């Protein structure tokens, strides 16, 4: 694939980006486009490896290895190397409805399982993917393609996040009338309000694609929570099938002393209010502001990073990010071999910005919070922490144990809880009477997506638990196929 000797001749090179201190003054995307000749060189590094692992999409040791939507990566790398951009875009769209989203926010498990990555830096798959789709938009190759015929069947999709949008796009392509219910004021779910604008531009990227979906016939109904604003019992009366893509939006809390103090928020409250303020061109105090405050973020992952980057753009006084896990090694450990996802130390954009502004990576590892401290007005002023070590309990399970003498007090006027999610919110599921699994997720077999109620399907985080955007794409497309099969007795959807 690509140039047979390219992986021997060319070094890995990523697209340039604005320097951290130059980009934190606004909410714009900061990755710069790469020239076509450089992209061809990077595509040339794709090996003729015989058995490519980059598009396998398997789970190894509980982590994604390869692309969960089975992108035809070696094929479009070869096409880019040969300068066939439109053909590369066609290949990309065969498996991915929205490459402009994954090309910006996916952590790229494909690169973690790239065969070249065994002994060299892997192919820059994510950057090439994003460049293909961006060129497609720039050249005007992406236009609405409404179905030639309609089936007369109506499908309700509940939730307009990654899974819901993929399902809606596919079901509409099959000719069904698709209505997407979204409780927020704008469609997009996690893509709209869970990811900051500098990482995924809402007007130039997200809303642009949503406009195409609307022009293709998908109907979005916002500010409507099914079960409150729209009776849940009317779903199967008004629609021939229902697909639940509500996400896993119940956040993990930290019930320690002082949790009731003002200034302690879940990360999604903070990120959602901020993006709404950016889109509404607000500059006042109608959102949770970190300006002039000592910020402590509890939890890592992408959400924690997004809180770091957002706090810095607000003009925070300082930022600390608490991680209960140990600092990852700089290279793969012996128990983390290829093609597993590489659990290695790296600084994402938020940590890079914090280091540039404050002098160091804001993450503090093997540390947990023990209590919050407040003032006489009930505002949080500090957080008490202690270092931990991981040891086995009597059941053989690893648990964090406090290390005496390592206690510290960190000033904090804003605390953001970014410790993940416990599963989907339950009221709608209770109303519908859906069967759930032991983790409170909707019970539906992967690959089938059918719930305990005939005609009702579930996909994405509400079925599998908190996961990657690209797994939501996988499930949304798969559930659309099964829903189409249910409605028509056969399906041509991939």
pLDDT in tens, 248-277: 999 999 999 999 999 999 999 999 999 999
Q: Based on the fold, state whether residues 264 and 412 are members of the same structural domain.
A: yes
Give the total number of structural domains in the chain. 3
pLDDT score recorded for residue 1: 60
What distance in Å separates the CA atoms of residue 382 and residue 261, rounded to the nearest whole number? 11
* Confidence band for 309, pLDDT divided at 50, 70 and 90: very high
Counting Cα atoms < 13 Å in the Cβ hemisphere of 89 gives: 18
Query: CA–CA separation, 82 vs 471, rounded Å?
Result: 30
79: CATH: 1.10.1060.10
Q: Are 269 and 193 in contact (CB under 8 A)?
A: no
Residue 493 lies in a domain: no
Asked if 79 and 87 touch (Cβ cutoff 8 Å), the reply is: yes
Nearest to 369 by CA among 261, 290, 267, 254: 254
Find the DSSP H helices in 381-468. Answer: 427-432, 461-464
- Note every long-range contact of 208-213, with CB atoms under 8 Å and residues 24 or more positions apart, other chains counting: 208/137, 209/98, 209/100, 209/101, 210/165, 212/142, 212/143, 212/144, 213/165, 213/168, 213/169, 213/172
Supply the pLDDT for residue 56.
92
220, pLDDT greater than 80:
yes
What value, to the nearest 5°, has the Cα angle with vertex 364 and ends 359 and 366? 160
Among 363, 391, 417, the domain-final residue is 417
- Residue 144 lies inside a defined structural domain of this protein: no
Residues 340 and 412 in one domain: yes
* Each residue's pLDDT tens digit, 49-75: 888 999 999 999 999 999 999 999 999
Question: Are residue 49 and residue 15 in the same domain, yes or no?
Answer: yes
Check whether residue 393 and residue 293 sit in a common domain.
Answer: yes
pLDDT at 284 (0 to 100): 60
Q: 437-442: long-range contacts (C-beta < 8 A, 24 or more apart)?
A: 439/465, 440/250, 441/248, 441/465, 442/244
Task: Tell me, yes or no, whether 346 lies in a domain.
Answer: yes
Query: Within this chain, do residues 332 and 398 fall inside the same structural domain, yes or no?
Result: yes
Are 50 and 113 found together in one domain? Answer: yes
411 and 319 in a single domain? The answer is yes
Per-chain mean pLDDT for the chain: 96
Query: Is residue 393 predicted with pLDDT exceeding 80?
Result: yes
The domain boundary, picked from 392, 417, 442, lies at 417
Is 379 within a domain? Answer: yes
Clarify whether residues 471 and 369 are in a common domain.
no
Residue 329 lies in a domain: yes
Determine phi and psi for 422, rounding to 5 degrees: -95, -10
Residue 285's pLDDT band (boundaries 50, 70, 90)?
Answer: low
The sign of the CA dihedral 314, 350, 272, 275 is positive
Strand partners, 164: none
Predicted local distance difference test score (pLDDT) of residue 200: 98
Query: What residues contact 37, with CB distance under 8 A and at least 6 apart?
Result: none
Range of the domain at 239: 154-249+421-488
Residue 349 lies in a domain: yes
Do 376 and 481 share a structural domain?
A: no
CB burial class (10 A; 0-12, 13-18, 19+) of residue 147?
middle
Residue among 442, 436, 482 at smallest CA distance from 241 = 482
- Among 369, 384, 417, the domain-final residue is 417
Residues recorded for the chain:
494
For 158-205, how does the pLDDT look when each residue is reduced to its tens digit (9 = 90+)? 999 999 999 999 999 999 999 999 999 999 999 999 999 999 999 999
Do 222 and 79 lie in a common domain? no
């Amino acid at each position: 694939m690509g140039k047979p000797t390219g992986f021997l001749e060319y070094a890995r090179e990523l697209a340039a980006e604005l320097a951290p201190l130059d980009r934190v003054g606004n909410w714009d995307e900061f990755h710069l486009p790469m020239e076509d000749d450089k992209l061809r060189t990077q595509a040339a590094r794709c090996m003729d490896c015989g058995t490519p692992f980059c598009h396998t999409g398997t789970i190894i040791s509980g982590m994604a290895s390869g692309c969960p939507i089975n992108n035809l990566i070696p094929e479009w790398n070869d096409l880019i190397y040969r300068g066939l951009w439109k053909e590369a875009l066609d290949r990309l769209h065969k498996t991915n409805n929205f490459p402009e989203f994954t090309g910006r926010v996916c952590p790229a498990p494909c690169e973690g399982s790239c065969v070249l990555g065994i002994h060299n830096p892997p192919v820059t798959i994510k950057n090439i993917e994003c460049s293909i789709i961006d060129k497609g938009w720039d050249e005007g190759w992406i236009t609405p393609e409404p179905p030639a015929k309609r089936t007369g069947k109506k499908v309700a999709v509940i939730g307009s996040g990654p899974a819901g949008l993929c399902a809606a796009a596919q079901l509409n392509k099959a000719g069904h009338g698709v209505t997407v219910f979204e409780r927020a004021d704008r469609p997009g779910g996690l893509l709209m309000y869970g990811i900051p604008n500098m990482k995924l531009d809402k007007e130039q990227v997200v809303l642009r694609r949503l406009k195409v979906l609307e022009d293709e016939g998908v109907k979005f109904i916002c500010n409507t929570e099914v079960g409150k604003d729209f009776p849940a019992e009317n779903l199967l009366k008004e629609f021939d099938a229902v697909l639940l893509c509500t996400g896993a939006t119940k956040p993990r809390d930290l019930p320690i002393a002082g949790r009731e103090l003002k200034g302690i928020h879940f990360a999604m409250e903070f990120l959602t209010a901020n993006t709404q303020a950016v889109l509404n061109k607000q500059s006042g105090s109608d959102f949770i502001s970190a300006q002039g405050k000592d910020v402590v973020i509890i939890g890592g992952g992408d959400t924690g990073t997004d809180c770091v980057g957002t706090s810095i753009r607000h003009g925070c006084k300082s930022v600390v990010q608490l991680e209960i896990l140990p600092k990852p090694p700089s290279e793969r450990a012996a128990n983390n071999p290829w093609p597993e996802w590489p659990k290695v130390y790296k600084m994402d954009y938020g940590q890079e910005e914090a280091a540039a502004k404050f002098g160091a990576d804001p993450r503090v590892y093997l540390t947990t919070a023990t209590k919050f401290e407040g003032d006489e007005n009930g505002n949080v002023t500090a957080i008490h922490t202690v270092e931990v070590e991981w040891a086995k309990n009597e059941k053989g399970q690893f648990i964090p144990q406090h290390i005496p003498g390592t206690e510290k007090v960190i000033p904090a006027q804003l605390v953001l809880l970014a410790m993940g999610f416990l599963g989907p919110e339950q009221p709608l599921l209770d109303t519908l009477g859906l069967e759930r699994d032991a983790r409170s997720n909707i019970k539906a077999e992967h690959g089938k997506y059918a719930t305990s109620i005939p005609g009702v399907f579930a996909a994405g985080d509400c079925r599998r638990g908190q996961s990657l955007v690209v797994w939501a794409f996988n499930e949304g497309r798969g559930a659309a196929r099964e829903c189409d099969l249910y409605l028509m007795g056969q399906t041509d959807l991939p």
